[in-house]
Amino acid sequence: MLGIKVELIDKIGMHSSDTAMIFLEDVKVPASHIIGEEGMGFTYQMLQFQEERLWAGAAAVVPFYKIIRDTAEYCGQRKAFGQPVLSNQSVYFRLAELATEVELLRSLLHKATAQYCMGHNVTKMASMVKLKAGRLAREIPDACLQYWGGMGFTSDVLVSRFYRDFRILSIGGGADEVMLSIIAKEMNILPSKKK
Ligand X SMILES: Cc1cc2nc3c(=O)[nH]c(=O)nc-3n(C[C@H](O)[C@H](O)[C@H](O)COP(=O)(O)OP(=O)(O)OC[C@H]3O[C@@H](n4cnc5c(N)ncnc54)[C@H](O)[C@@H]3O)c2cc1C
Under the binding rule (CB under 6 A), the answer on residue 115 touching ligand X is no
Near ligand X by CB under 6 A, which window of 87-95, 116-124, 164-172, 182-190? 164-172
SS3 80: strand
Residue 51 · residue 27 · CB < 8 Å: no
Under the binding rule (CB under 6 A), the answer on residue 178 touching ligand X is yes
134 near ligand X, judged by CB under 6 A: no
Chosen residue from 58, 92, 173, 186 binding ligand X by CB under 6 A: 173
Closest listed residue to residue 95, CA positions, set 123, 67, 115: 67
Catalytic one of 37, 38, 51, 52: 52
Residue 148 to residue 103: CA distance in whole angstroms: 23
Q: Does 174 bind ligand X (CB under 6 A)?
A: yes
Name which of residues 18 to 57 contact ligand X (CB under 6 A): 19
DSSP one-letter string for 103-115: HHHHHHHHHHHHH
Please, what is the minimum distance in Å from the beta carbon of residue 100 to ligand X? 27
Half-sphere exposure of 72 (CA within 13 A, CB side): 15
Query: Distance between CA atoms of 135 and 4, rounded to whole angstroms?
Result: 37
Q: Which residue's CB is nearer to ligand X, number 118 or number 189? A: 189
- On whether the CB atoms of residues 6 and 20 are closer than 8 A, the answer is yes
Clarify whether 186 is annotated catalytic. no
Nearer residue to ligand X within complex by CB, 45 or 121: 45
Min. distance of Cβ 180 from ligand X in angstroms? 8
Amino acid at the residue 77? Q
Residue 184 touches ligand X, criterion: CB under 6 A = no
* CA dist., res. 159 & res. 28, Å (int): 45
Catalytic residues: 52
Residues that bind ligand X (CB under 6 A): 11, 14, 19, 168, 171-175, 177-178, 181
